[in-house]
Structures are given as structure tokens and as C-alpha cells.
Amino acid sequence: STVICVFEKDAIEIDEDLLANSARSLETLVTVGMKLGVSKKLANIGLPNIEKCVLQ
Amino acid sequence: GHGSSKEENGAAESQSKGSRRARLKQRLHLHRRRRSRSNSPSHGKLLNAENFAGIALLTLVRAEMKFKDKWLACVSFGEQTFRTNISDQTDKPVWNSEKKLLLEKNGPHVARISIYETNKMSRNNLIGYCEIDLLEFLTRDSDSNSNSEILDLLDPSTSDKIVGKISVSCSVEDPIETEKSFARRILSIVDYNEDGKLSFSEFSDLINAFGNQVAANKKEEMFKAADKNGDGVVSMDELAALLAIQQEKEPLMNCCPVCGETLEVSDKLNYMIHLTLCFDEGTGKQVMTGGFLTDKQASYGWMFKLSEWAHVSSYDVGLNSGSSANHIVVFDRRTKRLVEELIDEKIVLSMRAIYQSKLGLGLLDTGAKDILQSLSEKQGKKMNSVESAKDIPKFVEFFKDQINLAEVKHPLEHFKTFNEFFVRELKPGARPIAYMERDDVAISAADSRLMAFKSVDESLRFWIKGRKFSIQGLLGKDQCSNAFINGTLVIFRLAPQDYHRFHFPVSGTVQQFVHIPGCLYTVNPIAVNSKYCNVFTENKRVVSMLSTAEFGKVAFVAIGATMVGSITFSKKEGDHVKKGEEFGYFSFGG
């Protein structure tokens, strides 16, 4: 079984790692709740990259 | 024709049978001569009268009836019955339906042909019948060049009244051709790119799937013998010739890939004939339907395993039996590592055979869709039975590295059927939702293997190879607006061991559900990557439309697959939903 979500053109900016794997025809193992992407409106502002954040 | 053999007395019959066999030997002598010239080591085996076996090609050509109707004809031979298509409304139906029948010394040799008028409002009515002794027909003295005969059709209630005539023809298939075409066809299963050449790995896949260790050890030797210039590929015809020789020395398959029947190694010709007939039944080459393939038989043969779900309820003989498991590589986003997912080689091969070859395409056109539906419905009933609960521990053990029982909401004893366990809920918090308070961040809708593409064009370039795929085909005409046509596509593929509930990827309102009926093909990448199979636009599915503030409209398509064709929703139209909330689940069934 499969779920397919279709977003309208220019509505979402999918996370780069997911797009990069897919462009290599490689599936990515994910779990419910993992980040998929952000609304294009928000993408223009930008989200903080948590992986690059440092605790001080 | 009918009746004539019944008039013979015992002694005469015995003598007649002896002479018939002699005449048949003579008729087949031509084949022997040709075989000798071709230096095949198997020459003459068909001509051993004591072990006679051959394939008779029976054709029901046309009939002349006494009134107009829509007609069909059935042939009963031994325990099998085959039928033609239904003719147009006429008193002279034409079928030209062919059927290959196995004719052997101790097997049946009288075929009964029955003609029915068809009626939509009631049962089909038997109007006439006749019987034909195929052995006698093939060995008769008169005009041996003619393969045709016109037989009287008798009234079933009186037996002496003639109600029509039927024209039939019958011939013996050239055994050399039978062997060659069989070898070519079995090899074509693994000729994935259909260039008529085989690499060693393609050939190796096939021999491994046969499950015969002796043959597996010889595959390199055989391949090297055929690959005379050592370039690593050989033509299908060259390999077919070698395969036929090997097949005679030491049969490669222990059981029939199509129906699963154990093959009698000591009876090599019957073995090959059985396989030929079984393959014919599925390829659509033969016009008549019925006979070998039932869903029960299909569930035994590896050719029809069709899905990675095939062994879900039988893990004691399941995916990791044998050392030849194949794999699909996926990237684990959490650990950032490549991981291999094991799938039994037979299942991989059968999926390729069905979904990625022209042979498979033929199979799908001749009843395999119904078989998938029937298998899935039966699997659903089985998985909803109390007895199925005993499979849960085996399943958990098999996937012990991939199913975390600590995060399952209820203990194993709670689940009264396998399906209940299959749609298990997780404890609250087991799946943290990224940026929970921000509706402008979308999340993954399922525990799954994910593919994402900025546009449909990219999805077609990298993943979906079905020639008929389109967003409009996926969503249906009424659901598909222009904004979706070149929208972004995210595919979540669930595997047997996964948590099977799906969740909302975005917050919004559920607008409507549209149920689209369809097939239950596997959604494995092998099928998705096939140009012949249009899984996403032909499978049964439910399209729901979500209206959101941050993403506009989002189409959510839940697609059923082989064995797992049941889709249940826990929300209804008009519900306001938060991303991460449960939306529904897939379960076993049709």
C-alpha cells in the first residue's frame, strides 16, 4: 500500500535531502512526523537549520 | 469422431490401439529425422511407444447450428474443461479457438465437445455435443494430410438426433519446436530489457529461482559454454539450445513455477510438456480459457507470488529461507545509512516476470487481475480469523530488528487477529511531530520509504515508468485542477513490517473523499518502475482533498495493493484536522 500526496505547483519546498535521494532513484526511510518541507511562503523567509544550531 | 471407438470389441480394440500407436510413431517419424539432423541428444524419446507423450493442438473452428443465437463451445478432456469465447448472434458461429492438450499413453484421449446457447437471463443451455478420440484422429489411415474433420453434434436428450455440425482440426505439435520455444520463453522471463540477449546475472536470477542446487552449481559452466566470445552476454537462442540439453540431462526445476506442482524428474518429456502447457495457460497465446490456472494453484507457484506480501502469513517458510534473498536498498534518514531490505529472490523474479515483461503483460490480461483480487479477499478473511493470531509471534520474530514492540500501544495478547496487530496503534508520543505548532511545515504522512519530486516530469524521469501515468489519471478528472498538473509529488510506500496507519501531513479541513475502484497490483518499485504497469493510476484508491491555509489544496491518495487492499478512514468530510493526527489505515483484504 502507498500514500501519494500531491501539492499544488509552487506550494511547497521539499527538504533537499529527500529530493536528492529521489533524484538518485533512492527511497528514503522515514517515520510519521519527520519534516517533509515548508510552505513556499515560509521558504522565502527561511527556517533555522537545527542541525547547525549550537548550545551555548 | 464420436461413437466410433465404442463399437470396437475388446480384441479388436487392443489390436487397433497397437496399430494406432504404430501409425502415430510413423507420423512422428518426421520429427525424429529432423531431430537427428539437428544432433539433439534426445532424439527418439518421443517415439518410445511405451512412454508415449505429446502435445495435441485441438482447434474448434466453426459450427453450423439450426437456429441463430450466441454460442460458446466447451472442451472437456480428462479433468480439465476449456471454453471458447461467445460468438456473435448467428447460426454459423466461428471460434477458431486453439487448445494444447497433453496426450499420453495412460492419460485421457477422448475429448468431449459441448455447444451451449448463451442467455443473459438464465443459465447457458446445452444444445449439442460430440466426442472425438484424439489418438484415433491423429493416427487414422484416411487422407493423412488432412487435420480437419466435420463432426455431427447430437442432441443431449435423445443422442440420436443431429442438431448441428462442428468443424475441428487436430495436429501433433512438433516436439523440437515445443522444446525450443519453451526454453526461449522461460529465458525471456529474465530478459528485462528485451534485447534478446542475456547477461550472466539475468540468467543466474532465473536458475536461482528454480531452487535446484545442482542446476545452480552448473549455471556458470552452462553460461560460459554459450558465451563463446567471452563478452558476458549470449543470445537467447544460443542459451535456449544449451538449456534444452541441460534440461534433458538434469532437469532444472523441481516444481512448476506457474502452478507449483512437483515435477516428476524421471519423466522428462512430460515435465517439459507440463511446463509448456502451464505457461501457455497464462500468456494469452491460447484463445480458450480455463484449465490449469486457479488462484489456489497460483498461490503455490512462484510465478504468481506477485507481491512482497505473499509470505506475510507464513514466515516459517518465508523471506529468509534460502541464501539467495534479493534486496532493495533504501536510505535511512534517521541513521543516515543505506540499509538493505531483503526480499526472497523468487518473489523479486516473479514480480519482474509479471510486471516488467511482455509475457507478464499477457498474464495480466488473461485473468491475473481477478486472481489478485481473489487472493487479496481471501487473505483478508484469513487475517481476520482468530486462527491468524498465531502468526503474530512469527511475524514479530522475523522483523525483530524493524518492529519496536515497546512503542506499540497494546501488548501482543491484546490482538485477537493478525489484522488487528497489522493495524496496531502506537503509544502517544511514539512519533514526534516536527514543528508541531507551525502549520507551514509539512510532515511525513507514514512510516514508509519516501520519494519526492518537484514535478511530475521529474517523477517520470527518476521513478514512475508506467507509460500512462499522469496526475489527472491519479486523481481523477473531477479532482484534478490545473494547479495540480505540474505540482509536487510525494510517494510514501509502506512495507509489510511497517506501522500501517497514515496521518495528516498538513493541517486543514477534509473536503471530500472520492473512491476509485481498480486493480490490486503490487506497489513494489519493481512494478512502479515498469513501463508496462500503471500501478498508481490503475489500482484501487481513495482520493481525499485537504484544504489548507499554508499549502492551498493538498490531494491525499491512499492506494491499495496486492493482499493489502482495504482502506479505512478515521476522519470524515468537514473535519478540521491538525498535522500528525491519524487519518486512517491499510489492512489485509480486497
Enumerate residues 6+ apart whose C-beta is below 8 A from B574. B509, B510
CB contact under 8 A, B449 and A22: no
Dump pLDDT digits (tens) for B245-287: 666 666 666 666 666 667 665 565 566 666 666 665 544 444 4
Dump pLDDT digits (tens) for B367-404: 567 777 877 888 888 889 999 998 898 888 878 778 89
How many C-alpha atoms does B451 have within 13 Å on its Cβ side?
27
Under-50 pLDDT residues of chain A: none
Percentage of chain B with pLDDT > 70? 65
Pairing of strands B326-332, A27-30: parallel
Q: Taking 50 as the threshold, does the pLDDT of residue B44 lie above it?
A: no
- In chain B, positions 101-140, which contact chain A (CB-CB < 8 Å)? none
Q: Does B470 touch chain A (CB under 8 A)?
A: no
CB contact under 8 A, B550 and A6: no
Mapped onto helix, strand or coil, the DSSP state of residue B59 is strand
Whole-number Å distance between alpha carbons of B360 and B351: 9
Chain A residues with CB-CB distance to B under 8 A? 1-9, 11-12, 14-15, 17-19, 21-39, 41-42, 47
In this structure, of B82-96, B189-203, B413-427, the range with the lowest mean pLDDT score is B189-203
CB contact under 8 A, A2 and B493: yes
Residues of B within 8 A of A28 (CB-CB) are 330-333, 449-451
Whole-number Å distance between alpha carbons of B388 and B518: 27
Q: Single out the residue of B498, B366, B407, B378 nearest to residue B445, CA to CA.
A: B498
Beta strands (DSSP E) in B505-565 are: 508-516, 541-548, 552-559
Identify the burial level of B582 via C-beta atoms within 10 angstroms of its C-beta, where 0-12 means exposed, 13-18 middle and 19 or more buried: middle
CB contact under 8 A, A27 and B441: no
Mapped onto helix, strand or coil, the DSSP state of residue B528 is helix
Q: Taking 90 as the threshold, does the pLDDT of residue B357 lie above it?
A: no
Quote the pLDDT of residue B562.
Answer: 83
CB contact under 8 A, B442 and A39: yes
Quote the pLDDT of residue B459.
Answer: 94
Whole-number Å distance between alpha carbons of B438 and B512: 24
| Residue tagged 537549520 (cell numbers) | A49
Average pLDDT of the segment spanning B28-43:
38
Q: What are the Cα distances from residue B121, in Å, to B40, B66, B84, B125, B505?
A: 56, 21, 20, 11, 50
CB contact under 8 A, B558 and A3: yes
Please name the helix (run of DSSP H) or strand (run of DSSP E) that holds residue B431, with its range, or none: none
- In chain B, positions 312-371, which contact chain A (CB-CB < 8 Å)? 328-334, 339
Beta strands (DSSP E) in chain A are: 2-7, 12-14, 27-30, 35-39
Higher pLDDT, B355 or B303: B355
Identify the burial level of B269 via C-beta atoms within 10 angstroms of its C-beta, where 0-12 means exposed, 13-18 middle and 19 or more buried: buried
Dump pLDDT digits (tens) for B114-146: 998 887 655 678 899 999 988 888 877 655 556
* B243 in Cβ contact with B237 (< 8 Å): no
Enumerate residues 6+ apart whose C-beta is below 8 A from B406. none
How many C-alpha atoms does B286 have within 13 Å on its Cβ side?
24
